[in-house]
A and B are shown apart, each in its own frame.
Chain A
Amino acid sequence: MSLLMLTSGLLCLGLYGVLTRRDLVAVLASVEVMLGAGTIQLAAFSTALNVTATSASAAATGQGYTLAILVLAAAEAAVGLALLVVLVRLGRTRTDQIEEVRG
């Protein structure tokens, strides 16, 4: 229960940051907090299920999905920070200053 409380708390803390912070850097960092909470949860369940799994391969599936989240978060950070660099050049790093998206 303690781990569930911790990861749920981290997820909600990250969500609070995403919804209240106005600078893109802080929003991106808050998203990383939310993803971190999810990976801790997945890794812990992966370990717990390992006890009852019938093979090592089945037991490591959770770790495989945790790695997938790590990769997704890294890709998200790369694209988000590239957008941030462009917005910094335009002098608009606050979320309320970004009003239009063009292809």
Chain B
Amino acid sequence: MENILEVKNLTKTFPGFELKNVSFTLPKGMIMGIIGENGSGKTTTIKSILNIYTKYSGEIKIFGLDNHKNDKEIKENIGVVLDDMFFPEILTPNDINNTMQGIYKNWDSKMFNDYLKEFSLAPNKQIKTFSKGMRKKLEIATALSHHPKLLILDEPTSGLDPVARAEVIQIFQSILEKDECSILLSSHITTDLEHIADYITFINNGEIVLSKTTNDLLDNYGIAKCTKNEFKDIAKQDYIKYKKSKYEYEVLVPNKKEFKTKYNISVIDKITLDDLMVLMIKGEE
């Protein structure tokens, strides 16, 4: 399968934080969700991919091309929604339309205006008069209206109320049905990703903890709930992390079926990405 995005050994150092050897690939037509707590390195990864950060080591290829050498060509085909970074808020959607006509070769004014109508955004009102949800929709409309082959979305649902979040997720789902577009999507709101992501990459403290298909994660990973004595019998290689609570142990296991056949523990819950994140970050080894 053709890879749209390949990140190899991406390392970026700041005082007090380091993104360490981040590697992953996004196949064509797929959605990858990057999850991790705030400050884990999600935005650093995205900013490096987009060359907003310039000083890092490692190799990034987009559409098979080096992201530094082919910057212009690549960016003609990428749509971007960044967290809190956009056009100055004194501009209007009409201004954005005029501007983008002079920036993208493939800018589709009709498509942009259709999105404005669909999202009920007034074309001649300043961005500063829009609610947070409306702004996000405008950012998404802007990211989509040049027919990008890859969408890079950094926290596109953060700060939105549940209704606006559901609307935004629905927009992404409809894009996927229409186009052969690939999406790299970072979020700390993991429930959004469970429904739409094909792959999940989990970054913690600047390192990739796991990168797998969503089905693999949700079908195979589980949380075994057991007593202290039962936990003592579990071999270290059969679990990833565990958390003690007042009455029981919650044990993160990578293969529910194998675990069930090996141990006599009856309660193994299905995992959610939230559970996974909490156990991976807060759990003990």
Q: Do A and B interact with each other, yes or no?
A: no
